[in-house]
Chain A
Amino acid sequence: MTVTRGESAKAPSPDARRSHVPADGTAGAAAVEQARKAMLNDTRPRRRTRIGADVVCEALILQGVDVFFSYPGGVILPLYDVLGDYPEIRHILVRHEQGGAHAADGYARVTGQVGVCMGTSGPGATNLVTGIGTALLDSIPMVAITGNVPGVLIGKDAFQEIDINGITLPMTKHNYLVRNADDLPRVFAEAFHIARTGRPGPVHIDITKDALQQETNAQHPTPEQVVAGLPGFRPNMDANGRQLKVAAAEIARARRPVILAGHGVLHAEAWDDLVAFAEKTQIPVAHTLLGIGAISEDHPLSYGFMGMHGWKHVNRAIQSADLLIAIGMRFDDRVTGNVRTYAPYARIVHVDIDPAEIGKNVAVEVPIVGDAGRVLRALLPMVAAVDPATRAPYFEELAEWRRESEGSSWHGSGAWRDGLLSADYVVARIGELTEHKATYVADVGQNQMWLARYAGFRQPNSHVSSGGLGTMGFSVPAAMGAALGRPDRETWAITGDGGFQMTSQELMTLVQDGIPVKIALFDNKKLGMIRQWQEIIYAGNYHSAHLQGPDYEKLADAYGIPAFRAQTPDQVDDAIRSAQAVDGPALIWFEIAEEQNIFPMMPAGKGLSDLIENWGGADE
């Protein structure tokens, strides 16, 4: 079978970008298309004046937005009324606003650009909320736009009115309510600046219907004007020189140092700086869940994934380290476990762009506020080059630990108990057959941890995962955005049967807009992580862990998506290759062992030294 890797991900033709026109080939669609062409060929001067909705479209174009994800509704219709005049913005009609928010999120994670999603007032806005929260917890640059009822109706409990501004206030980096079209240029410029500058995050703009309809001549501000208009927003990018000297002294003294690389390295696009720094100082690099890709996993100094379901050897290295150099990570409880017993011998150098992260979860010896890339570049000439030979005993020990822990949790034959399909093997095969060059989008739960540990990540921004909020249902919609953001890569959504059933409505969006996402559905007919916790922590009280699912082949077929099925290890490679060969979206139904656990596991509240490594079976 020929593998058509990458071919399916061709750039959309200019015509395909006008996705707000039905593309179903029906007579109705043809009529609409005819009307659209007539409108485009209409070279007479525009007979209408510039309104707030035009300003929104202009602002999106000025900010470099080429695609956004939205769902129409009553009060946002003025915007849809003018959208046809701006063919350079591709509009993706999602099936649910949450899918739109996750898609914008996925787009932002693989491109480093601001993702944009939009919905109407009331339920449209509240449906975006989960996606906004996901972006907040993972520091994703996003602008979420909602319509609101006309200004005079605000506070009157009007139809589809909800105080969405009040709802998003604690879960955005900043938010706006715009009641006047003249404010729109400034607000949009500020929103994009805030979303992408310093520690990135979501910004929400709520616009009243009348503001979208008002005529306006307000001009878009220059970047300088935007900065001047935000006196309270001056992120500190460059580190304090004295702190850098202290950090260099700590590094020179350390005998068992470990670098903890987080999402901040990717946000700062500092992956090369990280590798240069690690190589010069010969310090092994462990990464957080969102720090995956900060260093290629085949780099000799890459040590692996830390935390609750991280590798035992990595957690062991952290627990025995004398110095942790934390870069762009925030000592989340999934990383530290019980803080009292975390890295008991280590002094900590903590680099983060957000001063509030430093000293929040763990007390640190050397706080450094700054952009990860700038800090690493400033620190590089201040540290001495270390001869790897001087670290030989340390490295030998780390290598030994690694051999032991990786070997004890791997099902290289593809089979778990009773010959059923082992999830770690499937993930590893996907990584291998995509040559580690795809974008891999995790859902939440066991599938997320299997992906993080076994796919083998080589490239920055190739791993997309809802780490902070842990949003089930994230995978398929986020993969949709990721595929549009990086059409040069294959995009794989790795999802469990639980998360898949939460947002599977977006399958139709994949079809309608021809978005070539490959979905690897790990079906254990369980809420796997729930079942694992119930088995280990709740004495096997499996309430609601069993999850029925549809016939996923038929489901995919109903959507017009080619589906493949693998139940035994020998079917895995064929299924993956078949999905790759599809020009467009495809689904693989992997029926995996129902009761496979992911080990090691650190029970909540315990420390990194208290890992559970197996449970009632030698083959886990």
Chain B
Amino acid sequence: MSAESSGGWLRGAKPSTSESEKQLLAAPHSNGKAPIEAVGGLPAPATGPAHMAPPARALPGGGETRRHTLIAIVLDKPGVLNRVASLMRARNFNIDSLAVSHTDQPDVSRMTITLHGDDVAVEQAAKQLYRLIDVLKVQDVTSEPTVDHELALVKIRATDSNRAEILTIVELSKGRVVDLAGESVIVEVTGTETEVDAFVALVRTYGIKELVRTGAVVMSRGSASIEEAVKR
């Protein structure tokens, strides 16, 4: 028998002697051996008092959730947006916003993806993006100094009586009127997500007929360039 050749265990199996295992589970690193000390600056493994249950293993992705911004430099090929969107859906990441545009390099596009998640989950999202053949570079710029802007167009209900008031708010918010009509104005505002949110909240009292936002486009401050980093 195959099994016999590897130890003869087939006949006469011995009764369970789990004493050693009990000992081990009670005090895993003192099983008749010297306790383990830290070596080379590494922390020693977790051990606990004998009566305690084994420590639970930390789950990846159980940390604090916050808004992350990923910049992806991708080849401008048909279907690349579909690939990115499909991957994020399949891997259970929820995209808050996604902005895609050309770059100064031909055949290369840039995506700015904002999503909520803990650091480990977003790192996993970035790694999964890297697996796509058309993705050249992914960078999480959440913790870097960045310029983080989006643009919104807001069609606000306006009457003769409140139009002046609206225009004052627009001016104070550094917005720009791009269309004036009898019963509405279209205002363009740019700024961080929070700034745009604040403006929208401010004009909501007048009545918003339509609202469109581009989603954030983000660029790191300073002279470093993600596009230059992927140039061949």
Which of A's residues lie within 8 Å of B, judged by CB? Answer: 165-166, 169-170, 173-174, 177, 194, 228, 230-233, 246, 249-250, 252-253, 255-256, 297-298, 316, 320, 322, 339-347, 354-356, 359-363, 393, 397, 399-404, 406-408, 410, 412, 428, 431-432, 436, 454-456
Q: Is the CB of A255 within 8 A of B10?
A: no
CB distance from B131 to the nearest CB of A (A): 6
Q: Which B residues are CB-close (under 8 A) to A407?
A: 9-10, 12-14
CB closest chain-B residue, reference A436: B2
Which of B40-48, B95-103, B196-204 sits within the interface?
A: B40-48
Q: Is the CB of A232 within 8 A of B133?
A: yes
Q: Top 5 A-B pairs ranked by shortest CB distance?
A: A407-B13, A456-B2, A344-B54, A356-B127, A249-B40
Q: Is the CB of B54 within 8 A of A345?
A: yes
Q: Which of A339, A345, A400, A455 has a CB less than 8 Å from the CB of B29? A: A345
Q: Is the CB of B5 within 8 A of A408?
A: no
Contacts of B156-209 to chain A: CB distance below 8 A: none
Q: Which of B14, B59, B120, B133 has a CB less than 8 Å from the CB of A230? A: B133
Q: Which of A194, A345, A404, A408 has a CB less than 8 Å from the CB of B28? A: A345
Q: Is the CB of B1 within 8 A of A428?
A: yes
Q: Is the CB of A345 within 8 A of B58?
A: no
Q: Is the CB of B57 within 8 A of A341?
A: yes
Is B49 at the interface (CB under 8 A from chain A)? no
Q: Is the CB of A408 within 8 A of B13?
A: yes
Q: How far apart are the CA atoms of A166 and B131 in the complex, in Å?
A: 18
Q: Which B residues are CB-close (under 8 A) to A250?
A: 42
Contacts of B22-66 to chain A: CB distance below 8 A: 24-25, 28-29, 31-33, 36, 39-40, 42, 45-47, 54-60
Q: Which A residues are CB-close (under 8 A) to B90?
A: 170
Q: Taking each of A320, A343, A436, A454, which has the highest tally of chain B beta carbons within 10 Å of its own beta carbon?
A: A320
Q: Is the CB of B42 within 8 A of A253?
A: yes
Q: How far apart are the CA atoms of A165 and B74 in the complex, in Å?
A: 19
CB closest chain-B residue, reference A344: B54
Q: How far apart are the CA atoms of A363 and B118 in the complex, in Å?
A: 14
CB distance from B162 to the nearest CB of A (A): 48
Which of B's residues lie within 8 Å of A, judged by CB? Answer: 1-3, 5-7, 9-17, 20-21, 24-25, 28-29, 31-33, 36, 39-40, 42, 45-47, 54-60, 74-75, 78-79, 82-83, 86-87, 90, 120, 123-124, 127-128, 130-136, 230, 232
Q: Is the CB of B133 within 8 A of A194?
A: yes
Q: Is the CB of B25 within 8 A of A320?
A: yes
Q: Which A residues are CB-close (under 8 A) to B60?
A: 359-363
Q: Is the CB of A255 within 8 A of B33?
A: yes
Q: How far apart are the CA atoms of A340 and B54 in the complex, in Å?
A: 10
Q: How far apart are the CA atoms of A355 and B124 in the complex, in Å?
A: 9
Q: Which A residues are CB-close (under 8 A) to B28?
A: 320, 322, 345
Q: Which B residues are CB-close (under 8 A) to A297?
A: 2, 6
Q: Is the CB of B2 within 8 A of A340?
A: no
Q: Which of A342, A404, A456 has a CB less than 8 Å from the CB of B57? A: A342
Q: Is the CB of B127 within 8 A of A320?
A: no
CB distance from A48 to the nearest CB of B (A): 31
Q: Is the CB of A393 within 8 A of B16?
A: no
Q: Which of A174, A361, A410 has a CB less than 8 Å from the CB of B10? A: A410
Q: How far apart are the CA atoms of A366 and B136 in the complex, in Å?
A: 26
Q: Which B residues are CB-close (under 8 A) to A170?
A: 86-87, 90
Q: Which A residues are CB-close (under 8 A) to B29?
A: 255, 322, 345
Q: Which A residues are CB-close (under 8 A) to B7?
A: 399, 402-403
Q: Taking each of B9, B25, B47, B135, which has the highest tally of chain A beta carbons within 10 Å of its own beta carbon?
A: B9
